[in-house]
Amino acid sequence: MTRNKSPYTFIDLFAGIGGFHLGMAKAGAECVFASEWDEAARKTYLQNFKNSHPKLFSDNLFFGDITKVIPKKDIPDFDVLCAGFPCQPFSNAGFKKGFSDHRGNLFFDIARIIKEKKPKAFILENVRGLYNHDGGRTFSVIREIIQDELNYSFTSKIIKGTEFGVPQFRPRLYMVGFSKPNIEFEFPQSQHLKKTMSDIFGAKCSREIGFTLRCGGRGSGLGDRRNWDCYLVDGKETRIGPREGKLLQGFPASFKFPVSETQAMKQLGNSVVVPVIKAIGKQVILTLKNNY
């Protein structure tokens, strides 16, 4: 059965500054709940969504600590759970022993919300290294909990920013699942990269594709092997700033940072690539329309 009147809804967990929110909104979905504990990130989220989504803030739907969320009391019904969650190891004692032994790991809070709210779908994002994190144990537990204990489908893929329009590789692991475990989800096909770092800077840059934006360690310089934020632009050493960082992550130029430049760069480095979320979100919504 298809739904035509109201948009699909989603919740934005570990919301950061709202990369998932922007991407899912562009895909045609509506945010009905968000959670982020970091005060500086909350300030940026509020600054950019208070006018477009006032109900999130007036109705106490912009939560802080996810571990304090009571799903059936605090979270409205929704269709898609979105989360770019921290990557943490599971204890050896907890491996393959279900929910009771995974407390303290923040993925457990995602599983808890899925179990109690039973959304139609989820989209999770993490660093590529999650595949091998803690000897592969973390990814195995995540997949097993989702498939065996929650009875959701589970599909994963590493996607680069360059595949969806931004000139930085930024490979990230995306995981998608549905409450009907027989659904076969296909990730969106990659697109031709049309922008280069010269477009980002508005001047001739020596690199066509930029370094992956990071959340710390700025100021290494062109000659440093750890450098990721310094470029040769029109023959001059130029450091990337929030304006360029927004473009590299697919944020609109109008996005505002009510924090220091150092904080803004950290927040951008922690965020998701908005066009990737938009593409995956559209594919998830299409799958929902065809199967629910």
- Phi then psi dihedrals of residue 23, to 5 deg: -65, -45
10-65 tens-digit pLDDT: 999 999 999 999 999 999 999 999 999 999 999 999 999 999 999 999 999 999 99
Instruction: Determine the 3-state secondary structure of 154 from DSSP.
Output: coil
Instruction: Determine the 3-state secondary structure of 157 from DSSP.
Output: strand
150-206 tens-digit pLDDT: 999 999 999 999 999 999 999 999 999 999 999 999 999 999 898 999 999 999 999
The catalytic position among 82, 87, 215, 230 is 87
pLDDT higher at 133 or 150? 150
Total-model pTM: 0.92
- One-letter amino acid for residue 95 of the chain: F
Query: pLDDT value at position 104?
Result: 52
Res. 98 pLDDT band, cuts 50 70 90 = very low
Domains of the chain: 9-191+269-291 (3.40.50.150), 197-255 (no CATH)
Burial 51-70 (b: 16+ CB within 10 A, else e): eebeebeeeebbbeebeebe
Looking at the predicted structure, is the pLDDT value of residue 214 above 70? yes
With beta carbons less than 8 A apart as the criterion, state whether 218 and 229 touch.
yes
Active site residue 205: no
Whole-number average pLDDT of the chain = 90
Res. 103 pLDDT band, cuts 50 70 90 = very low
Report the distance separating Cα 275 and Cα 249, nearest Å: 8
Residues 6 or more apart in contact with residue 257 via CB below 8 angstroms:
44, 47, 242, 263, 264, 267
